[in-house]
């Protein structure tokens, strides 16, 4: 059978003509469900297109961040030589730094990473812990261990050096 010219009433199930405005049996209006109407799908398409274009607008937030691999010695030297240049280079930068775990804050709010043990000042980067996963990694480490920190520079001070927010530590 091809396309039937009849259908069943959605309310009482009586076979009625598709073109009938209402069911002769129960009087229910014979309306197509909304998803069978062409303008419903047009609306869905428009909403989908708006959703796609608006999510494309802030793609910078969703794109994976690229961490620049650098070392603390280079960063410290730049800060010492010219704090203004260091600020230009490293402000809000996403960095991957490998160094020596120099200290762990007793509250677990930050660690310091240096390029040689017992370094301080510019040679030490204060890295702030952001979640429990990072804390769990830090708990497995001891001062003097090598650590790699991926994160974003949050502050550059002429006196205190660099601070960064940890995104990942291993
Ligand atoms: Zn009916």
**Total domains present in the chain:** 2
pLDDT of residue 159: 79
Q: pLDDT tens-digit profile of 27-71?
A: 988 877 777 788 889 999 999 999 888 776 555 556 788 999 999
What average pLDDT does the segment 103-114 reach?
Answer: 94
Structural contact between residues 44 and 71, judged by C-beta atoms closer than 8 angstroms:
no
| Separation of CA 41 and ligand 1 centre (Å) | 27
Both 78 and 151 in a single domain?
yes
Both 14 and 81 in a single domain?
no
| Separation of CA 7 and ligand 1 centre (Å) | 11
Q: pLDDT tens-digit profile of 153-165?
A: 999 987 789 999 9
pLDDT at 1 over 70: no
pLDDT of residue 65: 86
The CA distance from 107 to 58, in Å, is: 36
| Separation of CA 15 and ligand 1 centre (Å) | 8
Domain that holds residue 85: 68-169
Both 140 and 81 in a single domain?
yes
Both 16 and 50 in a single domain?
yes
pLDDT at 144 over 80: yes
Tokens of 147: 């650590």
| Separation of CA 30 and ligand 1 centre (Å) | 8
The CA distance from 72 to 112, in Å, is: 11
Residue-averaged pLDDT of the chain: 88
In a 3-state reduction of DSSP, which class is residue 22?
strand
pLDDT of residue 61: 58
Looking at residue 87, which CATH number applies to its domain?
A: 2.40.50.140
């Amino acid at each position: 059978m091809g396309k039937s010219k009849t259908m069943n009433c959605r309310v009482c199930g009586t076979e009625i003509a598709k073109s009938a405005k209402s069911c002769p049996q129960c009087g229910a209006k014979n309306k197509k469900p909304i998803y069978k109407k062409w303008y419903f799908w047009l609306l869905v398409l428009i909403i989908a297109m708006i959703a796609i274009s608006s999510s494309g607008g802030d793609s910078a937030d969703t794109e994976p961040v690229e961490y620049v691999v650098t070392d603390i010695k280079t960063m410290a030297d730049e800060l010492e030589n010219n704090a203004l240049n260091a600020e230009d280079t490293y402000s809000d930068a996403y960095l991957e730094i490998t160094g020596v775990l120099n200290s762990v804050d007793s509250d677990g709010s930050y660690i310091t990473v240096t390029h040689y043990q017992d370094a301080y000042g510019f040679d030490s980067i204060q890295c702030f812990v952001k979640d429990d996963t990072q804390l769990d990694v830090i708990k497995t480490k001891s001062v003097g261990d090598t650590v790699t920190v991926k994160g974003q520079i949050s502050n550059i001070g002429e006196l205190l050096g660099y601070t960064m927010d940890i995104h990942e530590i291993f």
